[in-house]
Structure 1
């Protein structure tokens, strides 16, 4: 006869494996953002798993049957939600508008059982301190509140100025825990020789680097294992490239803002010439 503690240990491992497989099957949403039904499913499944692990007097396999039924029902609900908008509204409910054109909708607040203090707290989390500055505030089925500011209170972007901005390359981690990551280096068009040169320039050995990142301009930033060691400031070449790009954007903005034909033509020609110069010197500034 197997001792009880070994029996419990084996059944606990089995429950962990089953829970892991169920979570993978149900998808990441089951972990990151639970709906009302998924919340109930999570609690129930956890209780059943505990039953499988500890209740050695009963037929433990019945717990696995129950887990399977819960998983099947949960997957069935998710399938319905994917296929039917009506099912989504019934299961997860609909989004509720809490503020419209700067006006708080008190009836909708009561419907969602949300106090004014709680609403203002959620707005402050979005860096909004005046309800009058809000065009729309919507409570999603998940309980999150999303906010759209009025146009005059939205941050200024290049799009507002009519400036087109090119896509920026994602920074890549090229060193992690003292180990060189060859694939991210290749994505940036770089190699180990370049990395060795950059580390030698700042006087750091690869084994002392906890994390190394390369930004869109090809500039290397490092964080060392020893926080007491001060790393030299990054080189100025990335700053120079950024300044050149800013000058180009300023010239384009000037050409768009002026109404004088001669000035507009001059600014456009200067912007194109500076763009050509940037393309020529860019390989030197990102290496």
Structure 2
């Protein structure tokens, strides 16, 4: 027996709300280049279409009604999204700053469901291997990372103020030594360092316990970059 039309409309509305909540809860990382609304529409339309295969009690008429109703609903929400900033923020979210003046904002990473490995990977894909070079980095509403480099790093990258006689110092890939408070002993050993050396370097920066360190890396200039869980930033 086919569902009642009002029942179908109710199911569509419920699906819209539930998928919106689910996509907002899962976070931006899985969104790639889609907005929440686009991602939600793709999943729901796919589910509605697949229902005709799994449930033989649903007729083609019911399916057409459900997809048509959902399509109209998405178009209406898209219209209001263009007209209202509040609705736009509800459906698409807002950019989240995850790096500020070379400091990783761990709470914002957690809020974005973004791991330290995800962050460093996205930075590397943009040619940034040293977080200390980053002035600001934002996780955009489409899940992509936008990066603003410090002026001096941007000058080196673009070749500004460099002449033919200028020779840049040799650089190597930064070496991660601490991630999420855990010391990466294999990286220390691989590059000829030990825990005693690391603790001495941390002590020189006023850090007494590795559990206070969110991220530490020996950068391309052979300098130890340390980001603490508690960053003293001017608001």
TM-score under structure 2 length normalisation: 0.49
Which structure has the greater CA radius of gyration? Answer: 1
TM-score under structure 1 length normalisation: 0.41
Choose between structure 1 and 2 for higher RCO, CA contacts under 8 A separated by at least 6 residues: 2
